[in-house]
């Protein structure tokens, strides 16, 4: 079954078109890689599918709900509860220690602080971050920060994870570790994932890869 789809998506920034009728479907439990040259529209496509940007035309459906028509508050709650996000540089809150960064989605949904931190502590142990649980993001390595970002994205058990160049700031060893963690946990939680990348070794973790060119999904590379 299809969990997420974008149909005939158009998006421009000023007079510059980023999407020109892109279409994409994501199946339940699928890990999908989106590749393409710089400026092709792949990140814009991800942001439209995730409800971060509203397309100028076309539609985005999540479980048959038109999320492109949701009000801002409804869309924000959807992103907190059903979607998870991992970005290239983690985007952890610099003033919060690692364990609180991981717990943040639960705290934003009203979970009691003690309960949220207890669940985040389980992720800290699972990801081997025990030695830095109380450190600020600026005090840890890039690989450690990105593992915390993965935990933050997955702690609320989202149905879809969106990853935009999640290993772009890491060396090859740390990149492989982060991708293995991300894909294995997504599969264990029966979630789906869209990962934007320019690296073939990252795309190799996916079940299927599509190529975006000139604002269109131009090619599907096929199953893993």
Helical residues (DSSP H) of the chain, grouped into ranges: 42-49, 72-81, 98-108, 113-126, 142-154, 172-188, 200-203
Beta-bridged to residue 216, according to DSSP, are: 213
- Using pLDDT thresholds of 50, 70 and 90, give the confidence band for residue 65: very high
How high is the pLDDT of residue 142? 86
Model confidence at 159: pLDDT above 70: yes
- 136: number of CA atoms within 13 Å, CB side? 6
State the Cα–Cα distance between residues 122 and 99, nearest whole angstrom.
10
Domain ranges (residues) in the chain: 2-93+159-223
Q: Percent of the chain having pLDDT more than 90?
A: 69
Question: Which of helix, strand or coil describes residue 17?
Answer: strand
* Cα 119 from chain centre: 21
Q: Within a 10 A sphere around the Cβ of 193, how many other Cβ atoms?
A: 27
CATH superfamily of 2-93+159-223: P-loop containing nucleotide triphosphate hydrolases (3.40.50.300)
pLDDT tens, 86-106?
Answer: 987 668 899 999 999 999 999
117-133: pLDDT as tens digits:
999 999 888 888 889 99
Q: What's the average model confidence in pLDDT over 25-41?
A: 94
Angle formed at CA 13 by CA 68 and CA 57, multiple of 5 degrees = 35
Percent of the chain with pLDDT over 70: 97
Q: What is the pLDDT of residues 162-201, one digit of tens each?
A: 999 888 878 888 888 889 989 999 999 999 999 999 899 9
């Amino acid at each position: 079954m299809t969990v997420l789809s974008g149909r005939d998506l158009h998006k421009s920034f000023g007079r510059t078109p980023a999407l020109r009728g892109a279409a994409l479907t994501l199946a339940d439990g699928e890990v999908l890689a989106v590749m393409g040259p710089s400026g092709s529209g792949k990140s814009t496509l991800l942001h439209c599918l995730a409800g971060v940007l509203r397309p100028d035309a076309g539609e985005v459906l999540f479980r048959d709900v038109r999320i492109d028509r949701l009000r801002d508050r409804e869309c924000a709650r959807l992103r907190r509860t059903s979607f998870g996000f991992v970005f290239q540089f983690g985007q952890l809150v610099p003033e919060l220690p690692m364990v609180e960064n991981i717990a943040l989605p639960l705290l934003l949904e009203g979970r009691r602080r003690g309960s949220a931190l207890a669940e985040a502590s389980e992720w800290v142990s699972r990801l081997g971050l025990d030695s830095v649980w109380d450190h600020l993001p600026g005090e840890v390595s890039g690989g450690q920060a990105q593992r915390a970002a993965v935990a933050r994205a997955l702690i609320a058990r989202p149905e879809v994870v969106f990853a935009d160049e999640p290993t772009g700031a890491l060396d090859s060893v740390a990149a492989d570790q982060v991708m293995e963690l991300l894909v294995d946990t997504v599969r264990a939680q029966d979630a789906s994932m869209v990962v934007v990348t320019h690296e073939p070794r990252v795309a190799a973790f996916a079940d299927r890869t599509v190529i975006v060119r000139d604002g269109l999904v131009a090619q599907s590379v096929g199953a893993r």
